[in-house]
Amino acid sequence: TQTADMVQPKESSSAEYPLCIGGTGDASLGKPDMIPPELATHEVFQRILAENQDLRTALEQSNLMLRKGHSEILEFQETQKREREFIAIKFGEA
């Protein structure tokens, strides 16, 4: 089988966007967080939007690779099961 390198997000993530004082840092958990003033600019918004798209793409690729690997494992297990059954039948005939 062919292995593929996992797609990694860019290293610029959280350190580049510090939280405001009073922010919880739990925005990803559905809790609202304070947005630092520097994040309100269009340029920063576009950069974050692009990073978000990169992460989505990386996640989709990772999921596809995991699904492919899972399918290959299931196929291998089924092949092994059929071989065991065939050998058991042949052994029973002998």
**60 occurs within a structural domain:** yes
**26 occurs within a structural domain:** no
Which of 3-12, 17-26, 32-41, 74-83 shows the lowest per-residue confidence on average (mean pLDDT)? 17-26
**36 occurs within a structural domain:** no
**75 occurs within a structural domain:** yes
Q: What is the 3-state secondary structure (H, E, C) of the chain?
A: CCCCCCCCCCCCHHHHCCCCCCCCCCHHHCCCCCCCHHHHCHHHHHHHHHHHHHHHHHHHHHHHHHHHHHHHHHHHHHHHHHHHHHHHHHHHHC
Model confidence over 48-62: pLDDT tens digits?
A: 999 999 999 999 999
Name the more confident of 73 and 25.
73
CA separation for the pair 91, 84 (Å, rounded): 10
**8 occurs within a structural domain:** no
**10 occurs within a structural domain:** no
pLDDT band at 34 (very low <50, low <70, confident <90, very high): low
**83 occurs within a structural domain:** yes
Structural domain containing residue 66: 41-94
Q: How many domains does the chain have?
A: 1
**61 occurs within a structural domain:** yes
